[in-house]
Homo-oligomer: A and B are copies of this chain.
Amino acid sequence: MDDLHSRKTLPRLDESLLTHLPPFSKLDKRQIRTILDQATSRRYDAGIAIFEEGHDADRFYMLLDGYVRVVRITPTGEQVTALHIPAGQLLGIARAIGRDTYPATAMTATESIALSWPTRLWDSFVQGYDGFATVTYKTLGHRVGEMNTRIVELATQQVEQRVANALLRLINQTGRKVEGGIEIDFPITRQDLSELTATTLHTVSRLLSGWEKQGIVESKRKRIKVCDPHALVIISQV
């Protein structure tokens, strides 16, 4: 078992880990091999910070499994979730936008597994591997788009619409079809959802209760199943 502070290079990472992931999918076997040999693999428990805001951006990551929230912590200690990152995406790529510290903290939402590389290799990845730059800048573009959307939502929408939107986004990103609906396939508390929508856990709880009575969602502890996504779409647009 890994303990929290161990970080070990596994004897031999399987090449199939990367071959189907967009930033690497164009590369040949030898290149993948080199990349894997330089990588460090680590498992993270749920609720652990992979890296923290303000720290030296000394590594960049590829999330292989799990789910990560990118959060900022205000001077008064409140957490605000800026975005969610699913498995298969790059993470901590501060270097791509010319920063040498991480602009936010990355917390695991579930147990997760990530590869990482020292940031000094970044330039060689960008220059040496065909398609790598293109794909990472597309990722970046996608995230900028998401942040933009979040700003507009916060600026113009009511709490009810924001929560509905957040749920829709979550089931799109990580929904798992189960009987009777689509479930968010990692544990998520009312608190988490409130940090994602800039409201309080009380208000989220009230909204979910209301929706449950209308048959739109079903929820247990840390589990939310959306039964009627269309109804949420209606709500989210008012």
Q: Are A151 and B98 in contact (CB under 8 A)?
A: no
The CA of A145 and the CA of B100, in the complex, are separated in Å by 13
A13, CB-defined interface residue at 8 Å: no
Residue of B nearest to A140 (CB): B97
Using known A-B contacts A140-B97, A145-B103, determine if residue A82 contacts B156 with beta carbons closer than 8 Å. no
The CA of A103 and the CA of B145, in the complex, are separated in Å by 7
A76 contact set on B, CB distance < 8 A: 156
Q: Are B96 and A148 in contact (CB under 8 A)?
A: no
From B80, B98, B145, B151, contact of A80 by CB (8 A): B151
Residue of B nearest to A139 (CB): B98
Q: Are A154 and B154 in contact (CB under 8 A)?
A: yes
Q: Are B198 and A138 in contact (CB under 8 A)?
A: no
Residue of B nearest to A141 (CB): B97
Q: Are B140 and A98 in contact (CB under 8 A)?
A: yes
A92, chain B: closest CB distance, angstroms: 13
Interface 1/0s, chain A 169-211, versus B by CB < 8 A? 0000000000000000000000000000010000000000000
Q: Are B78 and A156 in contact (CB under 8 A)?
A: yes
A156 contact set on B, CB distance < 8 A: 74, 76, 78, 80, 198
Q: Are B151 and A147 in contact (CB under 8 A)?
A: yes
15 A-B interface contacts by CB (under 8 A): A72-B148, A80-B152, A80-B156, A82-B152, A94-B141, A97-B138, A97-B140, A97-B141, A98-B137, A98-B140, A103-B144, A144-B144, A151-B151, A151-B154, A156-B198
Considering residues A74, A156, A237, which has the most beta carbons from chain B within 10 angstroms of its beta carbon? A156
A85, CB-defined interface residue at 8 Å: no
A27, chain B: closest CB distance, angstroms: 18
From B75, B147, B154, contact of A144 by CB (8 A): B147
Residue of B nearest to A143 (CB): B144
Using known A-B contacts A154-B198, A198-B156, determine if residue A148 contacts B82 with beta carbons closer than 8 Å. yes
Q: Are A141 and B80 in contact (CB under 8 A)?
A: no
Considering residues A80, A148, A156, which has the most beta carbons from chain B within 10 angstroms of its beta carbon? A148
The CA of A155 and the CA of B78, in the complex, are separated in Å by 10
A36, CB-defined interface residue at 8 Å: no
